[in-house]
Structure formats: structure tokens, C-alpha cells
A = this chain, B = another copy of it.
Amino acid sequence: MTSLEEVLREAYKLAVLSEKEVREVTETARSAKALVADIVSSAGISAEVDVYGSSARLTWIPGHPDVDVFVVLENRDVKPESVVRALSEGLTSRGIKWRLRYAQHPFITLSAGWCEVDVVPCYKINPGERPITAADRSPLHHKFLAERLNDELRRDIRLLKIFMRTVGVYGAEIKVEGFSGYLAELLVTYYGSFLEVLKAAALWRPYRVRIDPSGRSAAEKFKAPLIVVDPVDPDRNAAAAVSLASMSTFILASRRFLKRPSLSYFLPRQGHAVRHLSVVEVIFPYPGEPPDIVWGKYKRAGRALREQLRECGFRVYRWGVESDEKTHVSLVYVVDQTELPPFVLHRGPPVYSDDVDKFIEKYVAEDVVGPFVDGIRVYVIKRRRYVSVVECISRKLGAGNYTIRVNAYEGALVQKNAWIT
């Protein structure tokens, strides 16, 4: 076993930003900011244009920069949509490629050099003031962190983000339901280092953790697996996006990494697929909607279909939504078997209950075993309605534009865990 020090020494090498990368990202951010400021002022919109987020703090994951230019409006009569319109016209007239995208509000993504840049309109707010759009807090978040960071904390933030990405909990989007970049930065700032975050997390218990970096706790009102009060807004849980599974995964990974340190927690490796499992996939064409909407919809649909499978008699060992966010989105179920035995035990009411008569009258004329009594209840053994997993799913989904695929899947849901030690 490699010692914690040795592993960390190697891991930190993966968290280094090269001078070249820093230079290129900084230059990209600078030119994008100048471009956006020019377009916005040409359009007669009064706004402060600046770069906030990980690119401004040097806390992105090496090789995965994320440049965000904010158009901060003071006048609340100016709508974010007007900014987006002005930007799209200005960019087009300058021959720069751009895409319109949506989070909670529309924003523009453009290619302005070494990497893509998101341009996000928002309103200026003061600390404690109620935000109008979800992006309004970003300048305050940046200010809070920028005042506290030093080179060591920045390095540890990058390492924590890599760790979270490897174990699959990095990102607040619906796809992941994990830790946002801002939350990772808050945690390192709060606990003091990468290692201290992990040491704390190894002892966390879902629904029992309340962290309040600002010390102005209003934490009681939140109900979530993890609570980290946003220091710029005590009404907000900065960890609200973290699902129970993401919280639990991070606890487990922290615990195991400290027990058996390994570079595997920082390397994007795939586990090998275990063969001969029963897997059914329902594959849909990717709909023309923003990812968060699609992931949310298909996670809900996936849960409903999981229930249907259970009602049909399948045991669902594991399931998930998978998508390339371009061509398809699929619901994947690892089940005990794809064809069920033809008979099922059907439990009826207690013999003394008035419902027993309905039960008996339903089955007395059918080709069943029984009705018979076991304990205080009446039972029959009857033929199953649906024996095949394909039939069970088709019944639930009805006609539609989807494909059902059986036992062809070799993705993450049937793989060995590649990072755990």
C-alpha cells in the first residue's frame, strides 16, 4: 500500500495548471470580456462586464477550463433577454460563432479563443439582498472566495474537483445531482485543505450535516442530505443539489481514500463490465430541450418505469439514465432476469376481512392453485400477466418512438467500481 503522502504527492501533480494553460485561459477571458463589453455598450445597455467563476480564480480542473463572462445589470428594467439579443446580433455582425443556451435563463456560448466562453446576464445585488435570477449571486460568490483564497487553497480546490469528478459526484446539474464547483471551493475554504475536507466527509452522515461558513446560521430551515449555508445568502443551501446518493458516494470515497490512499481516485478509468447480467435498455431519440430538462424528465420517467418493472415481478438491481446529450437518452435497468417464471404467488386478504369474498369470487372460476389459506390469509398461485421484460415495458410505455434492447449493455451500471480501494 502506498502512503497517503506519496499518493497526494502524485495526485497534486494532476492538479497543477501549466503556465501555458493559465496564460491561454486568462487571455481568452480578457478578450471575451472586452468583446462583450464593447457589444453591450454599443447596444446602449448600461452594465458592468466582468469575469467571475473558476477561470477568474484559477480553480478549474486542468484541461477543463470554464470561462464565464457576466453582464451585470443595475437597471432592473433591462431584461436578460435584451442582453442576449444584443449579444447575438453583435456577435453575428462580427462573424463570431455563438449558440443560445438555457439554464434557468438564456445565455450565450461563444468561441472566443482557446476555449468556449459562456456569457451570462444577471442583476447586481448586494450581500443579503434577494436575487432576481439564479446568476445574480455569482459576483458575490466570487468576491467571497477571492478574498479568502491563496495558491495552496486553489490547488486543493482543483484536487477536490478532480476527486469528485472521478467518483461521479462533481456537478450540480440534474444529470449528476452532485457538488457544484462553488460548493467544492466553499468546502476547501471552510475546512482549510483537500485532506481536511475528506477527513470531515468521512465522518458525515446524510441529513445530519449543517455547515455554515458565514456563521449566521439559518440552517434549521433546510431539509437536505447535506446543508452548506451560502455565505452570501443565508436563505440558500449551497448544497441543495446534492442528492442522497451523491452525498453517500462522497462519504464512502472519502472514507476509503483515507483508509487506502490510491491514485485511482484521481484518474478517469473505466471498470471492466461483468458479463452475462440481465440488462434492458429503453432508448429514446434525444429531445430538443436543455439537458437539465431532459435529465429531469427521464429520471422521473425512469423511476416510474422501475416501479412498473417491480409490479411486473422483476427485481431491479440497479438502474440509471444515460445520454450523450446529442443523439439519444436511455433508461437502463439491471434486472434479475429478462423472462420471469410463469406463475406467481398472489396474496389475498385475511380470512376474517370483508375483502376476502371479493378475492375468492375473483379466483374461484380461474385456473389457479387454491385459493388456499396460509396463516390468517388466503392466497392463490396464478399465471403472471407479463412474463417478458419487453412486454412489461411496452405495456407501460405504449406506442412511441423508442427501442428496447436486451442484454447488449456494457456500460457503467454493470462495471466494477474503478476507483474504490
Contacts and interface: CB of A to CB of B under 8 A. Distances in A.
Interface stretch (A1-9, A48-56, A101-109, A247-255): A247-255
B364 A421 contact: yes
Interface in A389-421: 413-417, 420-421
Contacts of A379: 317-318
A310 to B, nearest CB: 13
Contacts of A356: 252, 255
A115 interface: no
Contacts of A376: 206, 244, 248
Interface in A183-239: 203-206
A235 to B, nearest CB: 27
Number of copies: 2
A203 B206 CA distance: 49
A418 to B, nearest CB: 11
Interface stretch (A120-128, A286-294, A367-375): A367-375
A344 interface: yes
Contact of A360 (B256, B274, B372): B256
A417 B245 contact: no
B351 A252 contact: yes
Interface stretch (A90-98, A134-142, A333-341): A333-341
Contacts of A414: 369, 381
Nearest to A251: B351
Which label, helix, strand, loop or mixed, suits the secondary structure of the A interface?
A: mixed
Contacts of A368: 274, 416
Nearest to A313: B336
B420 A371 contact: yes
Nearest to A344: B336
Instruction: Tell which of A259, A277, A372, A375 has the most Cβ of chain B within 10 Å.
Output: A372
A381 B364 CA distance: 40
A417 B318 contact: no
Contacts of A372: 318, 417
A12 interface: no
A274 B367 contact: yes
B345 A248 contact: no
Nearest to A366: B416
Nearest to A256: B360
Contacts of A336: 341, 343-345
Contacts of A251: 351-352
Nearest to A316: B345
Closest 9 CB pairs of A and B: A317-B345, A337-B341, A252-B351, A205-B352, A248-B351, A249-B373, A248-B373, A251-B351, A336-B341
7 contacts: A248-B373, A256-B360, A277-B369, A317-B369, A317-B381, A336-B343, A370-B417
